[in-house]
Amino acid sequence: MKVIKLFVNCNCKRNNYNSHLKKDQIKSLNFREPKKDISLNNDIDNKECDKISFVSHTSEIFWNDNWQYGEYSKIHNSPVKIYYSNIPEKKNKIICVNAGHGTVGGEKVMTYCHPDKSPKYISGSTTKGQVYAVAVSNGMIFQDGMPEAEVNLSLALILKEELLKAGYDVLMIRESDDCQSDNIARTVFANNNADCHIALHYDCSNMDKGLFYISVPDIEEYKNMEPVKPLWQIHNKLGEDLYFGAKISGVKVYEKKDYPIDLTQTSYSTIPSVVLEVGDRKSDYSSITQKRIALGIITGLDKFFGFEIQN
Ligand SMILES: [Zn+2]
């Protein structure tokens, strides 16, 4: 993917920001606004640059073999990064933002669907009855030929900025085209370092049906499986609140609201966790639409954590 360098009027020496946003997304951002609104840089180690972002500091987290369920992951070479918000009204919650797909070679590796090695209950990208799932699938292709992984990433980067601005700290699973972490590793990273886990995806339908979430299937064996058992209600509550936040923020939502699948992410999560399908192959993924989705997610998180809803 093309990396576009942005040059802005910053006092520090390193005044070029690499961004994965596409040209039309960059055009829609107003660079004449106060500098703090253009904190697109992924390289925020320079202290002078920090002045124009909403980041106080960052922390890189590397894989730990001793983490629970760590032995089920096959790919976990990429560290994750936590960005801490610098705004005074900090919320002291770390949100794991997981841009779906984007692991080169991930579809050639298989991992257990469930930690108890039971077969899949409901067909998703893995068929019902399978014991193994691909470690990370490639994702779909939009009707205009754009790969889903790329669109998920642009949304994740917008969401990161908006979360920091709203006082949330952010754990970013992936900030480039290739993140060498399978779906289990992404979940285990989140379990051990975040307060909740949101995976961003676009569905493979062609209807522009709107945002919905993947809920926990109403299957007794699955709901009684560890670590789903103590958390399935809270996973669903997180999905419900994000759906609500999106809806009241003007995001196009799917009237059916949720679709149940026993996803790898849910099956290994020990914190509130949800997969959001924010659109599908036909949906608009412009920066304006993605920013609205990001703000909707934040409204939903405010509801979920009991903060005052801003919009
Ligand atoms: Zn996807």
Per-residue model confidence as pLDDT tens digits over 219-247: 999 999 999 999 999 999 999 999 999 99
pLDDT tens profile 102-160 = 999 999 999 999 999 999 999 888 899 999 999 999 999 999 999 999 999 999 999 99
pTM of the predicted model as reported, rounded to 2 decimal places: 0.84
Crossing angle of the two packed helices 287-305 and 232-248, in degrees rounded to 10: 130
Q: Looking at the domain covering 54-305, what would its CATH class be?
A: alpha beta
> Residue 203 Cα, ligand 1 centroid: separation in angstroms?
6
**Cβ contact 282:143 at 8 Å:** yes
Three-class DSSP category at 111: strand
Q: Where in the chain do CATH 3.40.630.40 domains reside?
A: 54-305
> Residue 45 Cα, ligand 1 centroid: separation in angstroms?
31
Calculate mean pLDDT across residues 242-263: 97
> Residue 140 Cα, ligand 1 centroid: separation in angstroms?
6
Calculate mean pLDDT across residues 61-84: 98
> Residue 121 Cα, ligand 1 centroid: separation in angstroms?
19
**Cβ contact 301:246 at 8 Å:** no
> Residue 235 Cα, ligand 1 centroid: separation in angstroms?
18
pLDDT tens profile 265-282 = 999 999 999 999 999 999
**Residue 252 pLDDT > 50:** yes
Q: Put residue 46 in one of left, alpha, beta given phi > 0 → left and psi -120 to 50 → alpha.
A: beta
> Residue 70 Cα, ligand 1 centroid: separation in angstroms?
23
Structure tokens at 165: 């601005």
What is the chain's alpha carbon radius of gyration, rounded to the nearest angstrom?
Answer: 19
Can you give the pLDDT at residue 126?
87
Beta strands in 86-223 (DSSP E): 94-99, 110-112, 132-134, 169-172, 196-203, 211-215
> Residue 142 Cα, ligand 1 centroid: separation in angstroms?
11
Element (H, E) at 276: strand 273-280
pLDDT tens profile 158-199 = 999 999 999 999 999 999 999 999 999 999 999 999 999 999
